[in-house]
Amino acid sequence: MASTSAPKRSLVLQRRETVVSYLFLLPALFFFVGFVLTPMAMGVVTSFTDSSFQNTNTGSSFVFLDNYIRLFQDPIFLKSAVNTVVIVVVAVPTVTAFSLWVGSAIYKMHAAARSFFRCVFYLPVVTGSVAVVVVWKWMFDKYNGLFNYVIRAMGGEGLMWTESEQMALWCIILILFTTSIGQPIVLYVSALGNVDNSLVEAAQVDGATDLQVFWKIKWPSIMPTTLYVAVITTINSFQCFALIQLLTSGGPNYSTSTVMYYLYEIAFRTTKEFGYADAMGVVLAIVIALFSALQFKVMNGGTTE
Amino acid sequence: MSGKKQRITPYFIISVILLIALAIFFLFPLYWIVTGSVKEKSDIIIKAGESVKWLPTTISWDNFARLFKSQTTLFGIGMPMALRWLFNSVFISVVAMALTCFSASLAGYALAKKRFWGQGFVFSLFVCAMALPKQVILIPLLREMSILHLVDTTWGSIFAVIFPVVGWPFGVFLMKQFSEGIPSSLLEAARIDGAGEVKTFLNVALPIIQPGIGALAIFTFINAWNEYPLQLIMLSKSEAKTIALGIAGLQSEMSNDYGLIMAGAALAAVPIILVFLAFQKYFTQGITMGAVKG
């Protein structure tokens, strides 16, 4: 966007504008460089060292790729990586499809009804993970929980929920789902409201069914929103942490540990090896970037040109 | 909204029934927090063979009394620890909100409306950082904050939570989107009238980007309030904890006292829900504007 129509401006004026611009940018750059870029760089550098809580005073040394090699031989890391992929692969399509369904069901409603539903589905996002998780934990409780009460009242046998290796991850995914659909719904409601109505009407005049109208007209025009929703849901699912830390602490037997959770456990709870944990962070960041780029490619390929 | 009136079809009726069922499912945890916080112990424990108390049989403030038992002081005023946590949450959110709105609106304006050396580079730096997961910087961030000796004190650690939230580039990105809408002719006119840079920004740009600042303010407030992982690693002293962190601590220490935990959860959830409901319009706007492909 730079250098559009300014060949005739004098050098002095250009220099002045540069100085003024950086003065405007100064506060934002201070916080951004100081507390986002610097730790990013520190993380990458540390991931090549054996830095840990034990050698904070004595100093750490470079171990090159040792941390990265160790990652792929660490069974708990591999288990956490599999769990993370399961969460992403289950959550992203369900969240996207479900929020699209809610969005299309409510966008034509009366304004009051529309904002009521939008609000309801957004509330778990607003209240934050902690308040949401403590109440879910109570509902999942095998003795005092509401779910087991209902099951027993109907004559069934109470379930273990978060204490069972088979079920715990699904409990996490369920809560993650309820805290993830709020933003996509808001986006879909506004995207569907912006679909060119004359196209829809023209198609209806030509005798197109509702389903045809949806796939041929609405779906292509809300594609950018779908892409955005898929990307943010992917990033959020990869980073799912608070739910796990509060609900299961990665257990039972690491069945709900994710890369993000294992990273936290290594850095702050167990061995406190910062270098090793940072290597995990770098791998996670690369994987997220790759996934987002892939989604971008796949979904764009389906619509444009 | 004319021209796309909802037709009443069987599909529509089924959708509405499903939506209402889902709405109940989504609202229920909240209902369970609020009612749980005022239930007596005997109503909370579900005994085999007895029916669940869907409503409290009596309203009891006993859970809140236990929540407020532990005392502390703030600026020399005695107060329950739980209120101090609530104060910290509000303080972190308000300061992060003010700093973000200030820095991001200036930066967004410059990126959208000025032409300067290094512009493309600075902007792509912001955008690239936004695509990366923010939690992967937690560990190096903690080390940076201990080198700066911020985590050693109560107030220092509180600011250690605020600064990274302010640094997150989403706000700059959002404000750049809004600033694109400032007509360059107005800026030119102000310059010809002899207005300085600051005056031009305040009198011409600011009124136009005000809705954007509103959206960013509410967005940052709620984000800072819910920035749990960052709070978890930075805030170790009890006086520095936020309400979310305080509740998480209660849950791990007294995991069976559900009444107490629900009272804490209510204290954490109700204020932020009120803020959200009051500024809902701005919020929806902020989410939608932020997603405009840039």
Consecutive H or E run containing B12? helix B10-37
Tokens coding B183 = 């007509």
Q: How is residue A165 annotated by DSSP?
A: T
Torsion angle (degrees, nearest 10) of CA A28, A33, A39, A41: 150
Stretch among A1-10, A33-42, A167-176, B133-142 having the lowest mean pLDDT: A1-10
Residues B7 and B15: their CA atoms lie apart, in Å, by: 12
Residues A155 and B173: their CA atoms lie apart, in Å, by: 55
Which residues between 261 and 290 in chain B have a beta carbon less than 8 angstroms from any beta carbon of chain A? 261-262, 264-265, 268-269, 272-273, 276-277, 280, 284, 287-288
Q: Where are the beta strands (DSSP E) in B104-179?
A: none
Q: Is residue B172 very low, low, confident or very high in pLDDT (cuts 50, 70, 90)?
A: very high
Residue A301 has pLDDT above 70, yes or no: no
Task: Please indicate if any CB of chain B lies within 8 Å of the CB of A162.
Answer: no
CB distance B144 to A39 below 8 Å = yes
Where are the domains positioned within chain B? 10-60, 80-242+271-291
**DSSP secondary structure of B58-88:** S---HHHHHHT-SEEEETTEEEEHHHHHHHH
A-B CB pairs within 8 A amount to 268
Task: Please indicate if any CB of chain B lies within 8 Å of the CB of A22.
Answer: yes
**How far is Cα of residue A268 from the mean position of the Cα atoms in its chain?**
23
Residues of chain A found within 8 Å of residue B135, distances taken between Cβ atoms: 239, 241, 260
Stretch among A138-152, A161-175, A178-192, B89-103 having the lowest mean pLDDT: A138-152
What pLDDT shows up at residue A195?
Answer: 84
Q: What's the Rg (C-alpha) of chain A?
A: 25
Residues facing residue B80 across a β-bridge? B71
Residues A281 and A264: their CA atoms lie apart, in Å, by: 10
Best of B15, B53, B113, B137 to substitute, by most chain A Cβ atoms within 10 angstroms, is B137
Residues of chain B found within 8 Å of residue A284, distances taken between Cβ atoms: 133, 136
* Residue A135 identity: V
Tokens coding A48 = 């090549």
Q: Where are the beta strands (DSSP E) in chain B?
A: 71-74, 77-80
Task: Please indicate if any CB of chain A lies within 8 Å of the CB of B168.
Answer: yes
Residue B1 has pLDDT above 60, yes or no: no
Q: Across residues A208-223, what is the average pLDDT?
A: 85
Q: Is residue A51 very low, low, confident or very high in pLDDT (cuts 50, 70, 90)?
A: confident
Specify the CATH superfamily of domain B80-242+271-291: MetI-like (1.10.3720.10)
Residues A238 and A158: their CA atoms lie apart, in Å, by: 31
Per-residue exposure over B208-238, b if at least 16 CB sit within 10 Å of its own CB, e if not: ebebbbbbbbbbbbbbbbbbbbbbbbbbeee
Best of B116, B218, B282 to substitute, by most chain A Cβ atoms within 10 angstroms, is B116
DSSP-based three-state secondary structure for A286? helix
pLDDT digits (tens, 9 = 90+) for A129-138: 888 888 888 8
Residues B45 and B33: their CA atoms lie apart, in Å, by: 14
This prediction has a pTM of 0.86
> B284 and A118: CB-CB below 8 Å?
yes
Candidates B104, B118, B131; nearest CB to A289: B131
Comparing C-alpha atoms, which of B292, B93, B118 is closest to residue A128?
Answer: B93
Residue A143 has pLDDT above 70, yes or no: yes
pLDDT digits (tens, 9 = 90+) for B258-276: 888 888 899 888 888 888 8
Residue B293 has pLDDT above 50, yes or no: no
ipTM exceeding cut-off 0.95 for this assembly: no
B59: left (phi over 0), alpha (psi -120 to 50) or beta: beta
Where are the domains positioned within chain A? 66-131+160-303
Q: How is residue A109 annotated by DSSP?
A: S
CB distance B74 to B84 below 8 Å = yes
What CATH number labels A66-131+160-303? 1.10.3720.10
